[in-house]
């Protein structure tokens, strides 16, 4: 992976994790993980591509550094499966959801559940074409601190 790609990936990961940690999850209270820490649900486009493998490793590393637990799943390019994964995260009362949508339009209806539950949603790599997104990692922003401010 080129150095520039690695820097972008690290910025996306760091900014999303900072935003997730700063926003604190749903107002109804999120279920803590086995460790008593906040849980972040992550749904990736795939876990087979090198970029997503690196993204997952970075998410796990940053989450651990911030005292968050993560549940990582992949839809393997199946929009219905990704929608189901998001529904599962809502049922689990995760503190936040980080999604790399496999279908920018197809994910929009699935985002209504987290919004109703007060669970913030962040996107990485690919934008959602609707829904309430706290921050999107598919476009440059000034700094990771600006993501954290936007998540409040």
The whole-number pLDDT of residue 134 equals: 73
Give me the chain's average pLDDT, please: 78
State the DSSP code for 110: G
> What is the average pLDDT across 6-25?
57
CA distances from 138 to 56, 105, 126 (A): 16, 15, 6
Q: Calculate the alpha carbon distances from 47 to 12, 24, 44, 58, 71 in Å.
A: 17, 27, 7, 13, 13
Domain ranges of the chain: 3-150
> In terms of Cα–Cα distance, which of 103, 92, 95 is closest to 45?
103
Q: The tokens of 26 are what? A: 């749903």
Residue 41 is given by DSSP the state E
State the pLDDT confidence band at 86, using cuts at 50, 70 and 90. very high
Please check the confidence at residue 42 and state whether its pLDDT lies above 60: yes
Domain at 3-150: CATH code = 3.40.50.2300
String of DSSP letters for 50-96: HHHHHHHHHHHHHHHHTT-EEEEEE-TT-HHHHHHHHHHHHHTT-SE
Percent of the chain scoring above 70 in pLDDT: 65
Q: Which of 3-17, 19-33, 97-111 is predicted with the least confidence, judged by mean pLDDT?
A: 19-33
pLDDT above 80: residue 73: yes
3-state secondary structure of 97: strand
Whether 58 has a pLDDT exceeding 90, the answer reads no
Q: Whole-angstrom distance between the N-terminal and C-terminal Cα of the chain?
A: 33
d(CA 119, CA 28): 9
């Amino acid at each position: 992976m080129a150095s520039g790609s690695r820097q972008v990936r690290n910025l996306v990961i760091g900014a999303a994790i900072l935003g997730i940690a700063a926003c604190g999850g749903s107002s109804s209270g999120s279920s803590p993980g086995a460790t008593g820490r906040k849980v972040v649900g992550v749904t990736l486009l795939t876990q087979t591509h090198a970029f997503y493998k690196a993204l997952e490793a970075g998410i796990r590393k940053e989450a651990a550094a911030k005292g968050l637990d993560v549940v990582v799943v992949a839809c393997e390019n199946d929009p219905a499966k990704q929608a189901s994964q998001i529904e599962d995260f809502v049922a689990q009362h995760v503190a936040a959801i980080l999604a790399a949508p496999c279908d920018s339009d197809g994910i929009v209806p699935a985002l209504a559940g987290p919004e109703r539950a007060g669970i913030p949603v962040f996107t990485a790599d690919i934008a959602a074409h609707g829904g309430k997104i706290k921050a999107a990692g598919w476009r440059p922003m000034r700094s990771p601190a600006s993501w954290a401010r936007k998540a409040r």
